[in-house]
């Protein structure tokens, strides 16, 4: 999958690397902004302590 993405990106290696970094940053931004807050509604957030003795 990554090799196919690398092949379809245009330009020399430095342009491809810049595009991959921009795509990665955009993906992480979208996950942190919309996906994770939406999923947080459905996950139970229970406080737990470990090793309290």
pLDDT digits (tens, 9 = 90+) for 1-53: 789 988 999 999 999 999 999 999 999 999 999 999 999 888 877 776 777 65
Q: Does any domain span residue 16?
A: yes
- pLDDT in the model for residue 22: 96
- pLDDT in the model for residue 46: 74
Q: Does any domain span residue 46?
A: no
- pLDDT in the model for residue 53: 59
Q: Does any domain span residue 10?
A: yes
The pTM of this model reads 0.70
Instruction: State the total domains in the chain.
Output: 1
Q: Does any domain span residue 21?
A: yes
What are the respective helix, strand and coil percentages of the chain, to the nearest 5? 65, 0, 35
Q: Does any domain span residue 19?
A: yes
- pLDDT in the model for residue 40: 87
Q: Does any domain span residue 44?
A: no
Helices and strands in the chain: count of H runs, count of E runs: 3, 0
């Amino acid at each position: 999958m990554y090799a196919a993405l690398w092949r379809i990106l245009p330009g020399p290696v430095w342009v491809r690397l810049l595009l991959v970094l921009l795509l990665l940053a955009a993906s992480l931004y979208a996950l942190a902004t919309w996906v994770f807050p939406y999923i947080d509604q459905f996950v139970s957030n229970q406080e737990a302590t470990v090793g309290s003795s």
